[in-house]
Amino acid sequence: MSKAGSNTLQRIKHLREQINLHNHNYYVLDQPGIPDAEYDRLFRELQTLEAEHPDLVSADSPTQRVGAKPSTAFRQVKHEVPMLSLGNAFSDEELKAFNKRVCDRISWKDLIEYSAEPKLDGLAVSLLYEKGLLLRAATRGDGNTGEDITDNIKTIATVPLKLLGRNMPSRLEVRGEVFMTRKGFERMNEQAKKAGEKIFANPRNAAAGSLRQLDSRITAKRPLEIYFYGVGILKDFDMPTTHSEMLLLLRSLGLRVNPESRVVKGVQGCLRYYNNIGKKRDNLPYDIDGVVYKVNDLELQQELGFVSRAPRWAIAHKFAAQEETTVLNAVEFQVGRTGALTPVARLKPVNVAGVTVSNATLHNMDEIERKDVRIGDTVIIRRAGDVIPEVVSVVLERRPQRTQKIKLPTQCPVCGSAVISIEDEAVARCSGGLFCSAQRKEAIKHFASRKAMDIDGLGDKLIEQLVDESIIDHVDDLYHLKIGQLAALERMGDKSAENIIGALQKSKTTTLSRFIYALGIREVGEATAQNLASHFENLDELMQADEEKLQTVQDIGPVVAQHVVTFFKQKHNLEIIHRLQQAGINWPSIQKISGDKLPLAGKTYVLTGTLSGMTRDEAKQKLQALGAKVAGSVSKSTTAVIAGENAGSKLEKAESLGIPVLTEADLRKLLQKP
């Protein structure tokens, strides 16, 4: 029990409510209700009372934004709902193509309604509220796992520690973008310069760096702000029907949303918004690099679904890349994990879109010749978002009398092997294969990476040590490592060595698609590897497939087919695969079931509403695995509609056509069919 009297308790409660209300009016509504001096008086009174009664300090008190003591590391946070990235449109034509894909996929004839808003150049975060209180905050990370930055997020004045109102979700996971205004950035850099501290290159870097401070007291001094743009989880609350209504809900809960958000119709509405924001861009208080469009209807979003790591219902329409001129001082050739030699321009440092650029890609020798780029030239470089800066063209009228033509080296700059150029390929390659240390290291790093064999603890620096000290030469050598070999390395001990050996043993049981991806075949990413595994179902059939057969696989054209065939023709590749299997790498066999034996073959189902036991995508995959077709719209040929909570127009259409309607319980029984 607190020793404070009831009057003190009531006063503390009243002060918190008043300060939270004034914070909301000031930061979210931009309508301050009292003078700064009056606000300061209330805040100081609350600080005094809490200092006198520390047992009454609560996590949602507005005084708890000052930052905590330094942490030694960030805890990892698994996102319950992945934080997906967005596809990009760099032209009006690409936007039109996106709109057409949306309409075609859902057989939509009218104008699609989109929710549009500026694309902030900041850092994406996820905040989890339970019963209205801020429980946790995390960075996007890789989309599935981020870093716990709760203490740092609490220092941002525009983040409510407690949601407004009495009626609120029992659980709300909201996504937003942390950023720094231009004025705040300039003011911070001026103060840092006077103090002899680090100067940040641009507001985005400053925001990201501030948010990842281990000492949240430092974060508290940085002028960070946030706008919220979406929801991952919403429980025990009426789900809005549109994205724009969702934004209004967030605003009513005290969560700040971008005031520039609008609802538009069709491509022309999107383009008008894009052009208007483009005109206002320089006058906005923060940096933006484009516009984001989202299909406004949430049920249509569900129907459109996702592709790889991006939603089909949203896209970022990027502004034109920003360009600057500088001098090309030298060219170096880097060797990638596939042996490709990439010419890299070493430039006189120049600021492009707030970032100091001293290196830029020249792509390949064909591009160098096409653009007639020479050492000593004044060149135009372009930087678009996070894309690697590139040399666009030469300013010929500034070409000096003496320039040096760029020549492809005849020997690999890493291992000294001969460099070869294949006809019809723009990229030259080192012939050293897996013996080239540049390729060996990168091949092993790729093999061990999370999306490939997922060997926990086997990081880049350790792999480099193992290769540099000739402990391993190829990926199969990983599975012959001993605890003593690892423990003897710098910054390693017996426990760490045991953990890595354990991770190696664990990684031996994998999936065929992961193994294919881990091999590092050119142009074969996660999605392609999955398509290959699903189609061929075993490695031997894949290794024996010719280009014609490979091109029958979904999304595989002649180029990828050629790369796959070439890879499996190489004797050393087959030897390493054999040695990996001898080391114990295995995966469950994929059992092929003929179509007539699938229990739901010939049946068509439509999913609508929210399911409690699984996502609609999971339900779709399970139905398809049993032979069913899952359609996006209801028709007379529909076998049944499976309706979850808050089912919409599809349920109404099914009832009007007399189509059977199944519950989630019916779905579970359906999935249990032998």
CATH classification of 512-582, choosing from 1.10.10.10, 1.10.3720.10, 2.40.50.1020, 1.10.150.20? 1.10.150.20
> What's the pLDDT at 531?
81
Say if residue 387's pLDDT is above 80: no
Band (30; pLDDT cuts 50, 70, 90): very low
- Give the pLDDT score at 40: 66
Residue 303 has pLDDT above 60, yes or no: yes
Positions annotated as catalytic residues are: 119
Q: What mean pLDDT comes out for the span 432-440?
A: 68
Q: Over range 460-470, report the average pLDDT.
A: 91
Summarised one tens digit per residue, pLDDT across range 116-125 is: 999 998 889 9
According to the model, what pLDDT value does residue 214 have?
79
What is the per-residue pLDDT for 491? 83
Give the per-residue pLDDT at 101. 93
CB hemisphere CA count around 635 (13 angstroms): 10
pLDDT for the residue 197: 78
Average pLDDT, the chain: 86
How much is the pLDDT for 26? 58
pLDDT of residue 523: 78
Provide the CATH topology of domain 595-671: Rossmann fold (3.40.50)
Answer whether 255's CB lies under 8 Å from 104's CB. no
pLDDT digits (tens, 9 = 90+) for 123-153: 899 999 999 999 999 988 878 888 899 999 9
CATH topology match: 6-56 vs 325-420 = no
**430 strand-pairing partners:** 419
Cα 280 to Cα 208, 260, 261, distances in angstroms: 25, 10, 13
Residue 19: the pLDDT is 85
SS3 (DSSP) at 538: coil
Q: Tell me: the pLDDT tens digits for 151-160?
A: 999 999 899 9
Domain boundaries, the chain: 6-56, 87-318, 325-420, 433-507, 512-582, 595-671
Q: Which residues of 142-156 are buried (b: 16+ CB within 10 A; e: fewer)?
A: eeebbbbbbbbbbbb
Mean pLDDT of 178-193: 89
- Cβ atoms of 253 and 165 within 8 Å: the answer is yes
pLDDT at 435: 60
Return the closest-CA partner of residue 232 out of 215, 246, 248: 246
- For residue 241, pLDDT beyond 90: yes
pLDDT confidence tier of residue 68, bands split at 50, 70 and 90: very low
Q: What is the CATH number that goes with domain 433-507?
A: 1.10.150.20
Among 129, 203, 205, 228, CA closest to 169: 129
**Model confidence at 287: pLDDT above 80:** yes
| Residue 424 reports pLDDT greater than 70 | no
Q: How far from 399 is each of 327, 347, 360, 381, CA to CA, in Å?
A: 10, 15, 19, 16
Domain 6-56 listed as CATH 1.10.287.610 = yes
**What percent of the chain shows pLDDT beyond 90?**
43
pLDDT band, very low/low/confident/very high, at 320 (cuts 50, 70, 90): confident
How far, in whole angstroms, is CA 313 from its chain's centroid? 16
Task: State the Cα–Cα distance between residues 314 and 28, nearest whole angstrom.
Answer: 25
pLDDT in tens, 520-554: 887 788 878 888 987 888 999 999 999 999 988 87
pLDDT at 353 > cutoff 80: no
Question: Which secondary structure element, helix H or strand E, spans residue 529, and what is its range?
Answer: helix 526-536
pLDDT at 595: 47
C-alpha span between 378 and 350 (Å, rounded):
12
**pLDDT tens digits, one per residue of 216-228:** 888 888 899 999 9
- Among 420-429, 478-487, 497-506, which stretch is predicted with the lowest mean pLDDT? 420-429
* Interatomic CA distance for residues 564 and 267, integer angstroms: 39
With bands split at pLDDT 50, 70 and 90, how would you rate the model's confidence at 29?
A: low
Q: How long, in residues, is the chain?
A: 674
Give the dihedral sign, CA 335/338/340/343: negative
Does domain 87-318 sit in CATH 3.40.50.12280?
no
Residue carrying the six token digits 């607190």: 2
Residue 458 CB burial class (10 angstroms; 0-12, 13-18, ≥19): buried
Structure tokens at 257: 């949303």
483 versus 6: the higher-pLDDT residue is 483
Q: What is the pTM of this model?
A: 0.50
The Cα–Cα gap between 488 and 490 comes to: 7
DSSP state of 391: E
Q: Can you tell me the mean pLDDT for 233-244?
A: 94
The answer, yes or no, to whether residue 593 has pLDDT greater than 70, is: no
pLDDT of residue 291: 96
CATH number for 325-420: choose from 3.40.50.300, 2.40.50.140, 3.30.230.80, 3.20.20.70: 2.40.50.140
